[in-house]
Structure 1
Amino acid sequence: MTTESEVLTRTERAQRYFRAEYGHFIGGQWTEGNSGRTIPVTNPADGTLLSTIQAGDAADVNRAVAAAKAAFPSWSRSHPMQRQAVLAEMARRLTARIDDFAMMETLDNGKPIRDSAGFDLPGTAAVYDFYSTTPLHLRGETMDFPDAVSLVHREPLGVCAAIVPWNIPMYCTALKLAPALAAGNTVVLKPAESTCLAVLEFFAECADILPPGVVNIVTGYGPETGEPLVTHPDVRKVSFTGSKPTARKIMGYAAVNIAPQTMELGGKSANIICADADLDAAVEGVVMSTVFNKGEVCIAGTRTFVQQLVMEEFLEKLKTVLHGVSQGDPTLPETQLGPQASQVQFDKVKSYLELGPQEGAKVLTGGAPARIPGLEKGLFIEPTIFTEVENDMRIAQEEIFGPVTCVQAWTDEEEVLRLANETPYGLGGGVWTRDLGRAHRFAREMQTGSVWINRYYNFVPGQPLGGYKESGFGRENSFETLLHYTQVKAVVINLAEGPLGIYGSAPAAI
């Protein structure tokens, strides 16, 4: 049972990290919203209030875009070393307070502190660090001809709209903001209204090093802020991470002004276990892919294909390890699985737990909401493994975005590759085998943007992130991303003297 002193401690913790209310960040200033309405932001572990944010509208978006547009001429012509210094300082400041920002993410999103402190925030700092090295290397080219020189310039686009999701807000913000700033663009950021507090605090931390208007943040619900932002005629680039249905709307909005887009969408990634794999390592990888960030990861390996020869042994090991996962208060270092980030997401995952048995799948373990003593209002789901899954079941084709994994059997390479690719998505994938040739064959045939061999979530600096098919288009986290934030201008300088002699000269004598 939760005591009054424990609730007070959680309240005091929220007051330590967050302001009672946040405004929009526009033109380097914190401002109230036009509507006067606010949105409560709560802790998904216990339902307590963390803070309130502005419920933005079109008027707020217009102010933010105007500020970004006004800042663009100066920022776009800034010295590359200036942009490098700003990004490097952002990385430094984040690293200096990494424990604080990790706790903010945990309180706001419900992810275990071991995930936010061990993965999310170090990864976020690494993104800013990586892009701090790129401004001087973003170059055009020259082409020489006997009578001309062609110069190809690579220029920033202008005002960029960045719309980030609720599951990994700090990291996804960095993936969009860092390359945009490195290339000389200005940004209007629309974070998810349910999990934006750490993002807001980070830009309060960095406000003094960002020229006014270079980064602007408008909070609020998607229909009131997202649509007017993406359709604004002064927005020249849209980058979105989120769900496929929302992406379709945003692509339609962006088409109004023919704005280029980068889309990082959902996934239903295949994790293929071969009979010759290190099964203990593979089991750990599947457990991690199931419970890391509560399964709220677009690139999670939620379809596990196990070679029939080792299915029984694999499932026994998987069940044993999964039963050892510590679920509870996400602020405790021993917790490995926290609550879902919102009531909406909790209800969605719960509906799939009910759907699986209706479709004929069997529950190996889990399959229900979890009751955590002292956190009875928390949005917890038991880590769940479905077996006897057919590839055409909805639980095997639709993104659940919770601690749920489907296990299917396979017997030969052709079969498993066909099953792995029979999905509308193509974001991530894993292969577990000691056979180097098989690893390469599988990686080549899997229709997905990332493939990890013998370690899932094995992110490395500069690894391009993005998907095939309905998982989106464009890539993030790599040098190539800068190409999405720039446009090309060709300048041809004539070296030949005098007119061509085609017009305006006397006709040649016959």
Structure 2
Amino acid sequence: MDQTTPFIYPGDEGSKLKPSSRYENFIGGDWQKPKSGKYFENISPTSGKVICEVPRSNAEDIDFALDAAHKAAPAWGKTGPAERANILLKIADRIEENTEKLALAETLDNGKPIREGFAADIPLTVDHFRYFAGAIRAQEGTIGNIDGMQSGGGNSALGMMAYHYPEPLGVVGQIIPWNFPILMAAWKLAPALAAGNAVVLKPAEQTPFSINVLMEVIGDLLPAGVANIVHGYGVEAGKPLASSKRVKKVGFTGETTTGRLILQYASENLIPVTLELGGKSPNIYFKDIMGGSDDYISRCVEGFLHAYFNQGEVCTCPSRAIIHEDIYEPFMEMVKERVKALNCGSPFDLNTQVGAQASNEQFEKIMSYLDIGKQEGAEVLFGGEKREMNGNFSGGYYVEPTAFKGNNSMRIFQEEIFGPVVSVATFKDEAEAVSIANDTLYGLGAGVWSRDANICYRMGR
């Protein structure tokens, strides 16, 4: 691929992606209209223009999808691991063959730079299906001897044995976020399908398009009803799925407040639920990182800039930087120089490093936090404004990579912004660094940067 030439914009002549004006739900191996006949517009964050219409589904559509899943689940659950693995391998191959098309769909739908979809999201999706194709074939049951061998002959001589072997749950409900639509779908679908479950999956209403393209690519490889995709808003479609008595488990990745509701819905039916929620991850930088001009200090700066990966729309985004006060100024000067070099151009250019925020809703949320930080008295180190774009991208949702200096009591330190915003504070000693890092409602991730392995180990503990 020519790294100097942007991809052709989806829908334009020569592009590998030609969006349809309307999509349906994928249920029972076919495309199904919503029962209400209602649709909503899917907006591209790259331009602010409509990509397509998708179903505004409700509980009736969820039940229809659950009917299809329950019809398919018994036969699918009885297939052998080798058969399921072979199907997952075919899915992986098909996705790999359509990498460019799917990466284009992801950028158009989500706003992320095409380089991320082309080099990371789609290859990782392929890898995920291949991994679980291998994992399910390697899984084994076990036999445990409970009370040992008995004397006296007869059957009692065998003792008491316990047999353990995995079985599919049946039908599971899955709800995914908008920051990695295709990759998150793979994270949910691949293990569930490998284990012999049928799935009803609801994508985020902000990014429904790329999942439709994915199902156009792989839908024919699965038996009808094994994987079902139902679009819609959280309250209208997500809640009926999470609270349904017809699912045996719910998997959810997304915002913490919504996760609490999902947990509540699932608990009413006494079914297991898996949640992966938000974060406000700290990176702690000790003064010994400035001990030389070698590659390590460059990596430390790169660690700071990881906060702008995927426009900061990552649950483990290092959105808090806690820097030793003795190195704050020289280290931040290095960060500022590196930020100036970030390529913030067209999301469809392979050289672009920072794209568009996933939706106008998220853009407005980030802009509100930029105002909050300024009102709280935080110092704007760089950025802090909307990023202006030209031409076809002028109506898109772009934010400048931003850093504030303040203190950990500020809202911009305590609340998840989910955008390209880093809140910076300084510390005097290890105790203060730990205190600042742990003073948060979140606990998803953290980083320690030091040349001293003892410090890294001690802080990690």
TM-score (norm 2): 0.91
Measure the CA separation in 1 of the matches of 2:160 and 2:17: 64
Answering whether residue 311 of structure 2 is matched by residue 299 of structure 1, we say no
**Residue 36 (structure 1) aligns with:** 37
The answer as to whether partners of 1:27 and 1:64 remain within 8 angstroms in 2 is yes
Q: One-letter code of the match for 2:113?
A: P
The answer as to whether partners of 2:175 and 2:251 remain within 8 angstroms in 1 is yes
Q: One-letter code of the match for 1:12?
A: D
**Residue 18 (structure 1) aligns with:** 19
Deviations 1:45-97 (A, max 9, x none): 21222111111111110011111111111111110001111111111111111
**Residue 380 (structure 1) aligns with:** 398
Q: How do 1:217-296 residues align onto structure 2 when only pairs under 5 Å count?
A: 217-277=229-289, 278-287=296-305, 289-296=306-313
The answer as to whether partners of 1:95 and 1:122 remain within 8 angstroms in 2 is yes
Cα distance, 1:328 vs structure 2? 2.6
Q: One-letter code of the match for 2:367?
A: K
Judged with a 3 Å threshold, the aligned counterparts in structure 2 of structure 1 residues 403 and 299 are, in CA distance, closer, same or farther, namely same
The answer as to whether partners of 1:11 and 1:48 remain within 8 angstroms in 2 is no
Cα distance, 1:246 vs structure 2? 0.9
Answering whether residue 153 of structure 2 is matched by residue 169 of structure 1, we say no
Cα distance, 1:344 vs structure 2? 0.5
Q: How do 1:369-408 residues align onto structure 2 when only pairs under 5 Å count?
A: 369-374=386-391, 375-387=393-405, 389-408=406-425
**Residue 224 (structure 2) aligns with:** 212
Q: One-letter code of the match for 1:311?
A: Y
Judged with a 3 Å threshold, the aligned counterparts in structure 2 of structure 1 residues 182 and 37 are, in CA distance, closer, same or farther, namely same
**Residue 158 (structure 1) aligns with:** 170
The answer as to whether partners of 2:17 and 2:104 remain within 8 angstroms in 1 is no
Aligned-residue Cα RMSD (Å) equals 1.7
Deviations 1:119-163 (A, max 9, x none): 211222121121111112333321123222211222211111110
The answer as to whether partners of 1:17 and 1:100 remain within 8 angstroms in 2 is no
**Residue 119 (structure 1) aligns with:** 120
Of 330, 355, 366, which aligns to 2:383?
366
Cα distance, 1:11 vs structure 2? 4.5
Measure the CA separation in 2 of the matches of 1:140 and 1:443: 36
The answer as to whether partners of 1:138 and 1:183 remain within 8 angstroms in 2 is no
Where in structure 1 are there 5+ consecutive unaligned residues?
Answer: 1-5, 445-510
Describe the SS at the equivalent of 2:166: strand
Cα distance, 1:117 vs structure 2? 1.3
Cα distance, 1:372 vs structure 2? 1.3
Describe the SS at the equivalent of 2:88: helix
**Residue 75 (structure 2) aligns with:** 74
Measure the CA separation in 1 of the matches of 2:398 and 2:144: 60
Judged with a 3 Å threshold, the aligned counterparts in structure 2 of structure 1 residues 365 and 312 are, in CA distance, closer, same or farther, namely same
Percent identity (aligned): 41
TM-score (norm 1): 0.83
Cα distance, 1:197 vs structure 2? 1.6
Measure the CA separation in 2 of the matches of 1:220 and 1:347: 21
Measure the CA separation in 2 of the matches of 1:88 and 1:428: 32
Measure the CA separation in 2 of the matches of 1:227 and 1:9: 35
Answering whether residue 357 of structure 2 is matched by residue 345 of structure 1, we say no
The answer as to whether partners of 1:267 and 1:300 remain within 8 angstroms in 2 is yes
**Residue 196 (structure 2) aligns with:** 184
Measure the CA separation in 1 of the matches of 2:191 and 2:287: 42
Give the length in aligned residue pairs.
436
In the TM superposition, structure 1's runs of 4+ consecutive aligned residues that sit over 4 Å from their partners are 8-11
Measure the CA separation in 2 of the matches of 1:150 and 1:10: 57
Deviations 1:409-460 (A, max 9, x none): 122122212211111111122222221222222222xxxxxxxxxxxxxxxx
Measure the CA separation in 2 of the matches of 1:9 and 1:79: 43
Judged with a 3 Å threshold, the aligned counterparts in structure 2 of structure 1 residues 9 and 386 are, in CA distance, closer, same or farther, namely closer
Measure the CA separation in 2 of the matches of 1:16 and 1:200: 12
Measure the CA separation in 2 of the matches of 1:9 and 1:293: 20
Q: How do 1:451-466 residues align onto structure 2 when only pairs under 5 Å count?
A: none
Measure the CA separation in 2 of the matches of 1:431 and 1:39: 44
The answer as to whether partners of 2:17 and 2:101 remain within 8 angstroms in 1 is no
Measure the CA separation in 1 of the matches of 2:131 and 2:434: 34
**Residue 477 (structure 1) aligns with:** none
Describe the SS at the equivalent of 1:283: helix
**Residue 506 (structure 1) aligns with:** none
Cα distance, 1:341 vs structure 2? 1.0
Measure the CA separation in 1 of the matches of 2:88 and 2:458: 39
Range that drifts further, 136-145 or 186-195: 136-145
The answer as to whether partners of 2:407 and 2:424 remain within 8 angstroms in 1 is no
Deviations 1:470-491 (A, max 9, x none): xxxxxxxxxxxxxxxxxxxxxx
Judged with a 3 Å threshold, the aligned counterparts in structure 2 of structure 1 residues 425 and 96 are, in CA distance, closer, same or farther, namely same
Measure the CA separation in 1 of the matches of 2:23 and 2:74: 29
Judged with a 3 Å threshold, the aligned counterparts in structure 2 of structure 1 residues 166 and 393 are, in CA distance, closer, same or farther, namely same
Of 330, 337, 358, which aligns to 1:313?
330
